[in-house]
Amino acid sequence: MNGPYETTETHVQRLLERSLNSFVLPDSVIGRLDSALAHASSLSSAHHSKGEHRETYRHTFLLLDSSALTLWEVVHTSGRDGAPLHELYVSEADARVAAAELLGQEPRLDLDDLARSGLDCRVSPEEVLAAPPSALPRLYVNDNSSDHARRVLRRAENADRPGEDTAALLRTAFAHHIAQVFGHWNQSAGCMLYEHAFLLIDGAEASLWEVEHTATPDGRHMCEVYADEAAARAALELRARVR
């Protein structure tokens, strides 16, 4: 994964450059990585079979303030040419979900996960999985959110992307939340959907829906942004069929 004499600064740069989804990492995390002094990487899990290769790596950084920051990297070969593709996640749980989605599996739930989440471990995993899912609250972060909205809109390449009215509205954003949305499509097709939710100065909420895919003539990554979820899902399913 990394050269034996790679500096921590170079390691961080390589991680971010090769990751397909590094642009959705919280700005606060990127800022903390700027103060990384040392790092250690290790293989957390792996799955290798005919036509399916997936590995999860743990990257831990020692920061200038003596705290530690861990990123989870999922490496898989689900692209068009079989070359390794990289994705970064802040939490182990998100990396597990992504890895399971790549293999068309349900995310594994174990007793350690239950204990960390505060659930009663006397309840069987089957009972937990059978329970109807509850909506997770949005955890808004006050981290230069209006600039984040500007960058999301700037990288949109679709002709029907949100216009100046939306851009003007989001200039009043003071907090935001980013979530990867998993649906019934196959993530291994190279298509992903993200919701960028913003809290506005008047207390209202607004979202941008970003579709990332490689359904381009040369296989490069392309980002499309939509103002509503339905349009984004329609575009996502269309791109998946193209693949």
Q: Which of 5-14, 33-42, 107-116, 145-154 has the highest mean pLDDT?
A: 145-154
Q: In what order do the strands lie in the sheet with 68-76?
A: 36-49, 52-63, 68-76, 85-89
Strands (E), 78-123: 85-89
209 touches 230 (CB < 8 A)? no
pLDDT (average), residues 228-234:
91
Identify whether residues 95 and 151 lie together within a single domain.
no
The residue type found at 227 is A
How much is the pLDDT for 147?
Answer: 92
The span from the CA of 194 to the CA of 212, in Å, is 8
Q: Residue 129: what are its φ and ψ, rounded to 5°?
A: -70, -30
168-195 in b/e form (b: 16+ CB < 10 A) is: ebbebbebbbbbbeeeebebbbbbbbbb
- Whether 80 maps to a domain, the answer reads yes
How much is the pLDDT for 116?
Answer: 44
Identify whether residues 75 and 150 lie together within a single domain.
no
Give pTM, 2 decimals.
Answer: 0.49
The span from the CA of 161 to the CA of 238, in Å, is 16
pLDDT (average), residues 10-37:
90
Q: Say how many C-beta atoms besides its own lie within 10 A of residue 197's C-beta.
A: 19
Any bridge partners for residue 72, and if so which?
Answer: 58, 89
How much is the pLDDT for 50?
Answer: 64
- Whether 140 maps to a domain, the answer reads no
The span from the CA of 74 to the CA of 187, in Å, is 13
Q: How many domains does the chain have?
A: 2
Identify whether residues 17 and 69 lie together within a single domain.
yes
Strands 36-49 and 52-63: antiparallel
> In this structure, what token pair is assigned to residue 121?
């471990």
pLDDT (average), residues 219-238:
88
Identify whether residues 95 and 156 lie together within a single domain.
no
Task: Specify whether the backbone of 203 is left (phi greater than 0), alpha (psi in -120 to 50) or beta.
Answer: left
Among 96-105, 109-118, 173-182, the least confident range: 109-118
pLDDT (average), residues 113-121:
43
Identify whether residues 85 and 170 lie together within a single domain.
no
Identify whether residues 153 and 231 lie together within a single domain.
yes
- Whether 151 maps to a domain, the answer reads yes
Q: What is the mean pLDDT of the chain?
A: 78
Residue 108 binned pLDDT confidence (cut-offs 50, 70, 90): very low
Where does 105-205 have alpha helices with state H?
111-117, 125-130, 145-154, 164-170
Q: Which residues 6+ apart lie within 8 Å of 169 measured at CB?
A: 200, 206
pLDDT (average), residues 214-243:
83
The span from the CA of 199 to the CA of 138, in Å, is 10
Range of the domain at 223: 145-242
Residue 209 is classified by DSSP as: E
Residue 131 is classified by DSSP as: S
Residue 213 binned pLDDT confidence (cut-offs 50, 70, 90): confident
Share of the chain above pLDDT 90, in %: 31
- Whether 109 maps to a domain, the answer reads no
Identify whether residues 91 and 156 lie together within a single domain.
no
The residue type found at 43 is L
| Burial degree of 89 (CB within 10 A; 0-12, 13-18, 19+) | buried
Residue carrying structure tokens 């996640």:
89
